[in-house]
Amino acid sequence: MAAVGDARTRRATVREDAAKERDANAVTRAAITRHGGTSALVNPARVDSTPADPALAGSAQVDAALADSALADSAQVDATLAASALADSAQVDAALADSALADSAQVDSALADAVPVDSALAHLPLPDPAFRADVLAGLSRRPRAIPARWFYDRRGSELFEDITRLPEYYLTRTERSILSAHAADIASLTGPGRAVVEFGSGSSAKTPLVLSAVAPSAYVPIDISGEFLRDSVAALERQFPKLPIHPIEGDFMHRLVLPAALANQPRLGFFPGSTIGNMNAPAAVDLLRAMWETLGEGSKLLIGIDRIKPVNVLIPAYDDAQGVTAEFNLNLLHRINRELGGTIPVSAFRHVARWNDTEARIEMHLEATRDVSFSVDGRPFAISKGKTIHTENSYKYGPRDARLLLRSAGWTPIGEWTDREGLFGLILAEARAIPAAP
């Protein structure tokens, strides 16, 4: 039995490391919210519970994935268990018991043989079971699609920051210029003394613009990563020493309870970056309703929504001359190879950005430039030349579309600003009770 004890200790240690790694990933994911505010897409817990993304792994699916994986190989058993989110040892044991290793003698000897695992894992990123489940399911379905949140590992987050500074990527700088050009106007419509609640928090260049414009009573950044919150709060405290800041570490896709200190203060929600455009309409309405519930009737919401515009402006924003967006998209395949033991020939794929006029969205795909076959986590896949993996959507809204979207969730638009060319829209809306009639 000593072998089992040692193996359990080892599994526990590796699980701890896995938890640290996941924390590190959370920091990376949160970092992205500073620039584009994409945290709604990149937080696993949040995306898992989004109706728009039903294929994502719940723990039952994770269990199933474990049960049907190649559990026969003991090294893989340890690695799979160690990497999984099944930190609870009862569940781990149950997964083992389910497997072909049900007999404890077999467990003993299998685990005892698995000694090299620690050293093998020491230099490999630990796979996230939800990532594994999404990738395997996404490559198996037709059309092939992998949820966009997996873009944001450390490298992906860096590349995304680079995207926001590209000459072709008009969104970030246009939204910022609208905010500064119309700060006084926005402030007169919101009125002073509101608690500003930022969803996805701390867009470093945009938050101070709003805070200095609207003379807020308090600032509430909401983000899934506590570590990121602490950083951005420290920076803002230096810049706004008299402003009370109440960070909330949490998932803004669901109704949240605001700090008691805000009880009698009117609120202003802030959701920049056209992150709402990375959700389909039902998911976008769900999120806007959750924001309504969090902020309450009478609250206001300042939201950035990118506009429909000529394809010759849209496409380059998602397929730039320097190839940064291509690298960002292709990094997903590198990540699969790195973290899930994939053998994808990345050079046989190319980045494609398409305008889907029916859906009014930019789509990003990875297209096979020849017939390819590869494996991910030991599973074989084949993609024929010209077929794609769909990786991201960015919905665009005409001014009326954007206002309808807001009204669908109980938000009545009361102000709207754009740039000279009408590239991007900034809308101020008010949370009103939905009238029963007429």
Q: Which residues lie near ligand TRP (CB under 6 A)?
A: 36, 38, 148, 163, 171, 273-275, 277-278, 318, 325, 392, 394
- CB closer to ligand TRP out of 138 and 216: 138
- CB closer to ligand TRP out of 277 and 413: 277
User: Which residue's entry shows tokens 């008010």?
Assistant: 430
**Which position's Cβ is nearest ligand TRP?**
394
Cβ 43 to ligand TRP shortest distance, Å: 14
- CB closer to ligand TRP out of 74 and 275: 275
CA separation for the pair 31, 137 (Å, rounded): 27
Cβ 70 to ligand TRP shortest distance, Å: 34
Cβ 305 to ligand TRP shortest distance, Å: 10
Torsion over CA: 130, 19, 252, 397 (sign): negative
- CB closer to ligand TRP out of 148 and 431: 148
What does DSSP assign to residue 241? T
Cβ 107 to ligand TRP shortest distance, Å: 44
Instruction: Please name the residues in contact with 30: beta carbons below 8 A apart, sequence gap of 6 or more.
Output: 39, 201, 223, 224, 225, 227, 228, 229
- CB closer to ligand TRP out of 346 and 372: 346
Cβ 26 to ligand TRP shortest distance, Å: 18
180 with 202: CB under 8 angstroms?
A: no
428 with 210: CB under 8 angstroms?
A: no
Cβ 312 to ligand TRP shortest distance, Å: 17
CA separation for the pair 32, 12 (Å, rounded): 31
- CB closer to ligand TRP out of 111 and 426: 426
The alpha-helical segments, DSSP class H, found in 32-128 are: 39-42, 44-48, 59-68, 74-83, 89-98, 104-112, 117-122
Sheet containing 424-431, strands listed edge to edge, beginning at the edge strand earlier in sequence: 248-249, 218-223, 195-199, 267-271, 300-306, 424-431, 411-418
- CB closer to ligand TRP out of 267 and 351: 351
Cβ 159 to ligand TRP shortest distance, Å: 9
